[in-house]
Amino acid sequence: MVNVPRLVIAAPASGSGKTTVATGLMAAFSERGLSVSPHKVGPDYIDPGYHALAVSPGASGASGAGGAAGSAARLRPGRNLDAYMCGPGLIGPLFAHGAAGCDLAVVEGVMGLYDGASGQGELASTAQVSKLLRAPVVLVVDASSQSRSVAALVHGFASWDPEVRIGGVILNKVATDRHERLLRDALDESGVPVMGVLRRADGVTAPSRHLGLVPVAERRAEAVGSMRELAARVRAGCDLEALLALARSAPALDVTPWEPAVEPVAPVATTGRPVVAVAGGSAFTFSYAEHTELLTAAGADVVPFDPLRDEELPEGTRGLVIGGGFPEVYAPELSANEPLRKAVAELAHSGAPVAAECAGLLYLARSLDGAPMCGVLAADARMSGRLTLGYREAVAVGDSALARAGTRVRGHEFHRTVLEPGAGAAPAWGVVHPERRVEGFVQQGVHASYLHTHWAAAPELARRFVERCLVERCTA
């Protein structure tokens, strides 16, 4: 049984202020000395970076250890809860794994409360996740263009699904004291208490670009300052005691925490644990914490490196994981790091396992917007004006260092780039929904694709990858 107090921060629609409120609450509660576990509904990579900053010691002005688990437990990554990619059955276990030892968990929703995977009912919606977690919901309402109508809106959301418990409302973008009184009077009749009011003029925002917010890794010093302002704003405008009481009203959750305990790869004599290098830094910020945990559980030593700054791969690298991010923003700098590009190409041509997703795919290409990349793949990438976004179902077309032929996965695409050609002679995946096509590249040990996947739903991917690292080490 899991007894972590928890809240889901939702909204009627995107743009209402969920990220501002959720991140501000994480920072404000952390500032009070609570150990806070941050979570995000859906596949988003950027918001969890801000969540992790919000609960890190010192980021919001917090000065010391506190809560049941102490300061060390607050060094936590933001974790995703995606019922499409991982399946509804893993939501509770993944939550329990991330929130272990915490005093409070705050879960930021996605889009509108009842919006989920297109054409699949409530699947992957914030509402579904709130029900799976048996967590009360706080509805963030953009009140900038309404007064009494806010009561009808809240009533509609609260009554739509009786299994979703909306325990409070936070009013965002409120103009004046008079506007606040009108909103509070209207909501008195709804039966849903107002737990916070944030004024329109108090905005604390992060800069955005073609795929949303600029990640924390690209503006950490500035983000720390903004986080302190945000914590102060939320602390002044929200009833933290009422919100904490609501979180503590969540019933026990009857789940077993997920463990990254894939069957370890049997060590080969004299080889030890293979080093798996994982790209990071400002250009490669998209990753799920569970991937590193699974690789480690399978028997690898995971070592991060920064393709913008490091001219060599980590010593002893036997496998390479390059996740998503913004290589298009840093194409000149990535291209200028010729020693590392050559090292990556040499590793790939040696047959070592290389798993690349989206940004990693572009980095392995011949060029990106005309700037030379690693040249592992006979393909060229460029920015486009079209956003490719959505969930995908796919099957492995053939055997690779990552997946056996026929392996089925659910993933997500999110990019404004185009790769020509989009698939090699041996594609990585055959997409079967929502359209049928092949995409990506498999050659030697390389598996490169636009598709983001969540390995918690397919831990055999991590085990196979580490196994191939050992095999390649023995045959090198």
Strands 371-372 and 317-322: unpaired
Q: Which of 358, 374, 469, 474 is catalytic?
A: 358
> Which amino acid appears at position 211 of this protein?
L
Region of 109 please: left (phi>0), alpha (psi -120 to 50) or beta. Answer: beta
Instruction: Please give the Cα distance from 48 to 58 (Å, whole number).
Output: 17
Residue 151 tokens read as 């009561």
The closest alpha carbon to 58, from 45, 74, 73, belongs to 74
Give the Cβ contact number of residue 312 at 10 Å: 12
Instruction: Map 119-178 to HEC letters.
Output: CCCCCCCHHHHHHHHCCCEEEEEECCCCCCHHHHHHHHHHHHCCCCCEEEEEEEEECCHH
Q: What Cα–Cα distance (Å) separates residue 328 from each residue in 117, 209, 384, 406, 475?
A: 28, 12, 11, 32, 36
Instruction: Please give the Cα distance from 121 to 124 (Å, whole number).
Output: 9
User: In the annotation, is 469 catalytic?
Assistant: no
To which residue do tokens 């260092």 refer? Answer: 401
> Which amino acid appears at position 245 of this protein?
A
Give the Cβ contact number of residue 399 at 10 Å: 14
Torsional sign, CA 193, 198, 204, 205: positive
C-alpha dihedral over 461, 258, 274, 399, to 10 degrees?
-10
> Which amino acid appears at position 262 of this protein?
V
Instruction: Please give the Cα distance from 305 to 124 (Å, whole number).
Output: 33
Q: What Cα–Cα distance (Å) separates residue 309 from each residue in 241, 337, 340, 342, 431?
A: 45, 8, 9, 14, 35
Q: Which positions are annotated as active-site residues?
A: 358
